[in-house]
Chain A
């Protein structure tokens, strides 16, 4: 919610601390202020009112009230302290045919002069991003942002002499809203209609109708202020794709008791800025908020917050709130103000004490060390599995739990290729092998060896699976890849002291790891871990790599390091990796074969430029006395 600093300051006769200081205090004692923006002559705070406090917090009065408690700076006038008087007069007929309306009040004002709003009102509304329409509509809007209570002004001519009927819409009934959009209703929607001819005037809590709105020649106004069921308001709004400042307040449960406060304030403001006089008020009440006291003890407050407050300190916080409460020994019995339906259990009050006192006073206490009573068997053995596979050159991947087509269907998928839950890891591992194969040189790998440990889903439930796969860079080669897989299984079996058998298909196999672990003995300690090493991730280039091989004869068999450093030096900054891929000895000489991979971070390399780099590499190798093969 956008909040004007100047508007707030009206509640403090200008005594608020500067905007940044007020915003900081609010962030640490109430809730977050996402943005503080200077505008001409004012500062606008973007206040993220918490959902549980929104029944009173979505208003300048609510925020001012909380600030007054936080800063211990009294409000000059709290409009909610005194119940307003609504003079009776010729009544407006109100018929309530829907339980979704908990309170409905209306006032008839006669002889208003519709026109532009006074400057102060225009400025206030513009500061919080609201467009000024005319004095009548602006008065209604101002009161909503000031007190939180929405209202609506009708041209009395369009309401007719018989007043209002609140009812459910008939299927297919329509209304063109003030926004010019035509809305079509179902029987679940609540609307306000004319009592005489049943024509729809507005959508309850959401939007007024275009036809019955205030126009330049309106002189008779009916102001309607009501309270609507939070859930039905939200549902109708969702269906109509309509969320308004008014509906947000109903959805968050503003209390029915606010209705007379709202009506009185709108009527007074209209008379002040548009003239006219009140001909009469009417009000129908269907639901009231039951006020319940909340009891909490000092020791509970201190024990939950981890602080050591005294009874006096807690009382002084309650006093700052202006709450009614009784103290018996160390127990407080609080009667929450009518608008604060968020205070129902002791913990609600504890939170208020904690945030006002300040969480900075909570002292950190490290819990006393206790011995670990249970070792997570699945995690323990999964770690053994990882270590065994990693020792065989396998790297661990995580893949998506979603697949395009499988057994368990998601009712509301993100995208058609993510419409199902995976019933196996196999396909994902296969995809990953193929995706990684072109990067084998870049990664310095002769084979891509992967595994994943993850959950799969089928009609019998969810299962912890392990899948491993091997693929040579040019594709699966049974002769090369199957032995790697077999060695991995062997290493796995050794680690778990089990014979593990699994059928592989094109270099990929899958094991029900959860079931396997269930059969393994329980454990009493985690393995000691090596201290984790620091790693800083470097984004990889998305441009293609180019590989070149170079082989040479050396007179001795200890030249690998020397050659590597020559290659590094001469292949330059575009060299991404140098791998020794073959080495053998013959007739007292040693053959070394290296693969050099080039890649740029910002472009696709050409053969021509790599050839020229390689010319330099060959030259340097020969100059150092190696015979290039």
Chain B
């Protein structure tokens, strides 16, 4: 007799779904190290040497490895990938990241981020908006609107904050019709392109980064991010 099947972790399910949606647009799933070099995590991403996010309270440093950190975002993979590939580039980077901050229902010291990067000759903020509307519509089901607000991240210029709103009839009731702040994004800073060996006078592109745990929490109605990492089947076996 075959045993009753087990269950796939919700975050893996999200990862697989995200990958299959972006694959339709030709975005390649790439990865990078979790124990990252400071150069990739900060310097090459145009984060100034004295930037507050490098402080001890935000970043995990490693004893006897002064050049390493636990990556604080998946953005270092942008540079790693661009160093080896010339445009056109379309990638997504789902991966674990680490932040040295107190944990609560919405913050974990480790969580999953989804990075996106598209670089070519004429990529614009319009493509960012279009790509995200495509993704959210597929992911949450039904029609999705995306709006951009000015913001700042050292590795993009212009930088934007992205809000989304689900308007379709089949969108989860709790989310429907409401603007939700979902991620940071922008046009890749020319310094980042240059650092990665891509000529910013010829190429330009967008990048975005969002929390996959957050996507999962919204989609499944999970109210505490820590539940994903407890190894508790009372959680996992619901999926």
Does A537 sit within 8 A of B, measured CB to CB? yes
Are B228 and A347 in contact, CB atoms less than 8 angstroms apart?
no
Q: Interface range on chain B: under 10, 10 to 19, 20 to 34, or 35 or more?
A: 35 or more
With the chains together, A259 CA to B204 CA distance in Å? 39
Does B90 sit within 8 A of A, measured CB to CB? yes
Are B148 and A395 in contact, CB atoms less than 8 angstroms apart?
no
Are B152 and A450 in contact, CB atoms less than 8 angstroms apart?
no
With the chains together, A64 CA to B28 CA distance in Å? 45
With the chains together, A341 CA to B148 CA distance in Å? 24
Within 8 A of A (CB), among B4-54: 4-13, 15-17, 19-20, 23-31, 33-35, 50, 52
Does A52 sit within 8 A of B, measured CB to CB? yes
Are B150 and A462 in contact, CB atoms less than 8 angstroms apart?
no
Does A107 sit within 8 A of B, measured CB to CB? no
What B residues does A234 contact at CB under 8 A? 50, 52
What A residues does B30 contact at CB under 8 A? 374, 376
- Selected from B24, B60, B133, the residue in CB contact (under 8 A) with A410 is B60
Are A359 and B148 in contact, CB atoms less than 8 angstroms apart?
yes
Who on chain B is nearest to A408 by CB? B62
What B residues does A493 contact at CB under 8 A? none
With the chains together, A125 CA to B34 CA distance in Å? 48
Are A431 and B231 in contact, CB atoms less than 8 angstroms apart?
yes
Are B233 and A395 in contact, CB atoms less than 8 angstroms apart?
yes
With the chains together, A27 CA to B110 CA distance in Å? 30
Distance in Å: Cβ of B69 to nearest Cβ of chain A: 10
What A residues does B100 contact at CB under 8 A? 412, 414
* Interface 9-residue window, one of A134-142, A167-175, A185-193, A364-372: A364-372
- Selected from A28, A408, A461, A526, the residue in CB contact (under 8 A) with B20 is A526
A345 and B12 contact, Cβ closer than 8 Å, known pairs A230-B50, A414-B100: no
Does A373 sit within 8 A of B, measured CB to CB? yes
Are B232 and A350 in contact, CB atoms less than 8 angstroms apart?
no
Does A304 sit within 8 A of B, measured CB to CB? yes
Distance in Å: Cβ of B141 to nearest Cβ of chain A: 9
Does A379 sit within 8 A of B, measured CB to CB? yes
What A residues does B142 contact at CB under 8 A? none
Distance in Å: Cβ of A555 to nearest Cβ of chain B: 24
Within 8 A of B (CB), among A444-480: 444-445, 448-450, 452, 455, 457, 461-462
Who on chain A is nearest to B216 by CB? A537
Are A304 and B231 in contact, CB atoms less than 8 angstroms apart?
no
Does A303 sit within 8 A of B, measured CB to CB? yes
Who on chain B is nearest to A525 by CB? B23
Distance in Å: Cβ of A321 to nearest Cβ of chain B: 15
Who on chain A is nearest to B56 by CB? A412
Are A354 and B125 in contact, CB atoms less than 8 angstroms apart?
yes
A411 and B150 contact, Cβ closer than 8 Å, known pairs A373-B28, A376-B29: no
Q: Interface on B for A, CB 8 Å cutoff?
A: 2-13, 15-17, 19-20, 23-31, 33-35, 50, 52, 55-56, 60-65, 70, 88, 90, 96, 98, 100, 102-103, 109-110, 118, 122-127, 129-131, 133-134, 146-152, 157-161, 187, 189-190, 204, 220-223, 228-239
Residue pairs across A and B with Cβ atoms less than 8 A apart, 11 shown, are A362-B126, A364-B126, A366-B130, A367-B127, A367-B130, A372-B26, A396-B9, A396-B12, A421-B62, A443-B237, A538-B238
Q: Identify 13 new A-B residue pairs, CB closer than 8 A, beyond the known A362-B126, A395-B8, A457-B34.
A: A52-B152, A304-B204, A305-B124, A306-B127, A359-B149, A366-B130, A369-B24, A421-B62, A455-B96, A536-B220, A537-B222, A537-B238, A538-B238
List the 5 closest pairs (A to B, CB-CB), nearest first: A306-B126, A306-B124, A432-B231, A370-B26, A393-B3
